[in-house]
Amino acid sequence: MGLRIYLDGKFVDEPDAKVSVFDHGFLYGDGVFEGIRAYHNSVFRLKDHVDRLYDSAKAINLEIPISKEEMSNVIVDTCRQNELKDAYIRAVVSRGKGDLGLDPKKCNIATVVCIASSITLYPDETYTNGLTVITVPTRRNGPEGVNPRIKSLNYLNNIMAKIEANIAGVPEAILLNQEGYVAECTGDNIFMVKNGVLKTPAIHLGMLEGVTRNEVIKLAQKNGIPVEETTFTRYDLFVADEVFLTGTAAELIPVTKIDGRVIGDGKPGPVFATLLNEFRELVKEPEGPEAVIFK
């Protein structure tokens, strides 16, 4: 049995989940999306993800034709339709069908899609041994263009960096901003530890404010680990005691080599281990009633 996918007000079988070739999400990458996780029969941080989806839509002047409450129900119902208690969920809103011109006014109503399935970004052993990553020439697009805080369907900036990682034979790449400061990776936020202090790039440097990122900051504070949202360069990563990445799909994953430099002692560090354990305990906690998949 194939997936059941939400498309514009109804659930359809995967082969029937089709959008027009005139949809501006397809033609121009004009739209927004969210990647969301369900754990143990509950959608994790559903409200935070839905709020960010609607913030992204507002930033590009895209009207989502259903309310936040309805969107939340769609996300949970998509898991139910596919009998998934643990899942990776993708909610997508595109500008909708228009013509071959750029003008969004030609698109009468947005297209809304929700998919629930599974995703594995990294092999299990990388959580034990750590990732090797590189810094790539492609820079993070700045807030004066397509602001990285908008989780838009136009992901070419990230994809170009991913291509460079693929060419180098590594699974992930670090993007710097236009000033040369560390911003984020192609699909993850980045953290470093130095002398017991957990540091992550500040939002204004040009990055997506990750839901998992924010949870990790809270968990660190709860465990008495000092946290700084700040500015740092590749040099700071090279000489860090620990480096790790965070993301909805990846959760927390350690980095043990960057641009040929071994990080710390070449093994995942104690701060990472503490926060990973705390995060995995956190996702076992049920969310509110609106996020529970099966009653």
Catalytic residue set? 151
Q: Which of 74, 90, 93, 78 is nearest to 5 (CA)?
A: 78
d(Cα 107, Cα 99) in Å, to the nearest integer?
Answer: 8
- Which residue from 120, 117, 156, 121 is spatially nearest to 138, judged by alpha carbons? 156
Tokens 């995703």: give the residue.
Answer: 119
Q: DSSP E strands: which ranges in the chain?
A: 4-7, 10-13, 31-39, 42-43, 87-94, 111-117, 131-135, 172-176, 182-185, 189-194, 197-201, 227-230, 242-247, 251-258, 261-262
Q: For the chain, how far is it from start to end, CA to CA, in angstroms?
A: 23
213 neighbors 189 (Cβ within 8 angstroms):
yes
C-alpha dihedral sign at 174, 145, 153, 49 = positive
H, E, C per residue of 62-108: CCCCCCHHHHHHHHHHHHHHCCCCCEEEEEEEECCECCCCCCHHHCC
Rounded Cα–Cα distance for residues 215 and 262 (Å): 27
Nearest residue to 111 via CA among 131, 93, 98: 93
CA distance 83 to 208: 31
